[in-house]
Amino acid sequence: MLRVKMLKTRHAKLKLFVPFLLAFWPGASHAADAIRGGELYATHCAACHGASGISIMPGAPNFARSEGIIRPDLFLLNAIKDGKNAMPAYQGILKDRDILDVISYVRTLN
């Protein structure tokens, strides 16, 4: 009986702690915004990668086929910031949050 009461007390404390944890968890309230990412994509990326993710420029990944996006967000963030081949570096042009929004949008194109 005592063990059951202890478990209920622990469960009650956990129920109070979880919302607090989620409220202050880094990134929990800052989830990527795919809608904003779509706007940024249209402005900065669609000329080469295509409005629907089907690449226009030879050598550009075809996002509609998930080319180049099956990597962790941090890897893609750094790749976009640094640029590669014909793609310009977006370091100083877009903030990290903007780039993560674009990555979130690009993942919806396949």
Quick: pLDDT tens for 42-78. Answer: 999 999 999 999 999 999 999 999 999 999 999 999 9
Predicted model pTM: 0.72
CA pair distance 31, 7, nearest whole angstrom: 33
Pick the CATH number of 34-106 from 3.40.50.720, 1.10.8.50, 3.50.50.60, 1.10.760.10: 1.10.760.10
CA angle 37, 43, 94 (to 5 degrees): 65
Residue 26, pLDDT score: 46
List 84's β-bridge partners, or say none.
87
Cα distance from N-terminal residue to C-terminal residue, the chain: 54
- Kindly state the percentage of the chain with pLDDT values over 70: 73
Structure tokens at 89: 């570096």
Q: What is the largest CA-CA distance in the chain?
A: 70
Residue 31, pLDDT score: 78
Question: In whole numbers, what is the pLDDT of the chain averaged over residues?
Answer: 83
Q: Does 19 have pLDDT greater than 60?
A: no
If one compares 72 and 23, the residue with the highest pLDDT of the two is: 72
Split at pLDDT 50, 70, 90, the class of 110 is confident
